[in-house]
Amino acid sequence: MCLQDYHQETGVPLGVPLINRLTDTFPQLVVFKHEDCPGLIKLSRIRAAERDGHRCLSILMGNGGLYLLQELADGAMTGFAFPEMLVEVYDRFTSGDPESAEDVYDCYLPFLRHEQQPGFGLAIRKEVLRRRGALRSAAARTPATRLGPIEYAELDRLLARLERRLKDAG
């Protein structure tokens, strides 16, 4: 079982004492999906509690990858139109090369930030995934936001910028 800490959506903040109590009480709880903001201090407190005898959980970060390197624990479980970036950053970071992990992340950061905007971020992600061949259609169910000419122009600009940055980075 996975405990998702997303109080922005649920309205239920989860403090570290509660997380520890749930972890110790329910052995089927094995994963903690972190989506709190700010979150680094909470993750640090959870790991400190584990060193003090509380059961260890696998921690996956969410938040669309916005804080990937600051909050990377055991992995990521989040939406992003370029999942290969999440994998590459994780691989570089866990292989002992956090500097190059951050270099890769930095290439994608302007696009990542754009995609995570409330209101139309999912429409952006779906359109990119459609362009990349992962989806046949970028349509989303009502009342989803639809992209217009201005959003498409900005998307094209950011994708071209990302392509240039990746080419320059090798």
Per-residue pLDDT of 90-128, as tens digits, reads 999 999 999 999 999 999 999 999 999 888 889 999 999
- Where along the chain do its domains lie? 1-78, 81-170
Q: Contact 87/65 with Cβ under 8 angstroms?
A: no
- Whole-model pTM? 0.84
Provide the pLDDT confidence category of residue 79 given band limits of 50, 70 and 90: confident
User: What is the predicted pLDDT for the residue at 145?
Assistant: 85
CA atoms within 13 A on the CB side of 112: 21
The pLDDT of residue 123 is 94
* Residue 3 phi, psi dihedral angles, 5° rounding: -95, 115
Q: Residue 69: name the closest of 42, 45, 97, 46 by CA.
A: 97
φ, ψ for residue 4 (rounded to 5)? -100, 125
Smallest CA-to-CA distance from 78 within 131, 151, 6, 145 is with: 6
